[in-house]
Amino acid sequence: MAPQLAFFFAVLAFCLALEGVTANPLGDPTKGAPESCSTQQALEMPCRCCKMDCWYSIASSATHELGHVPGQAGEEEALATLKLIRACMMSECSALCTRRRPFFTPQ
């Protein structure tokens, strides 16, 4: 039951993150989701902008490669995309972000 529960929460987190990205908190609501932060936003919140850049670039690459939104054809696509996004955030954004708590590591 534990693997099913973990999968459920992973899919739920992916859906919530996708909803948050498409809600467009930083940009003009009439233009859809922004692809990157403005210069001012990058100066004010570099960690968030770095993570958003990872999210958009990996999700866009996966969508282009698969031909559809990751996860549409199965859970493995969604989980693989989330792992790539996490790896990007850890490698690219760790210098910009203060480490408040350890990263989640699946067992």
* pLDDT > 90 in the chain, percent: 50
- Where do we find the tokens 């534990």? 2
45-92 pLDDT tens trace: 999 999 999 999 999 999 999 999 999 988 999 999 999 999 999 999
Task: Tell if the pTM clears 0.85, that is, is over it.
Answer: no
Instruction: Report the candidate in 36, 33, 37 with the shortest Cα–Cα distance to residue 18.
Output: 33
**pLDDT for the residue 12:** 45
34 contacts 27 by C-beta, under 8 angstroms: yes
Domain ranges of the chain: 36-96
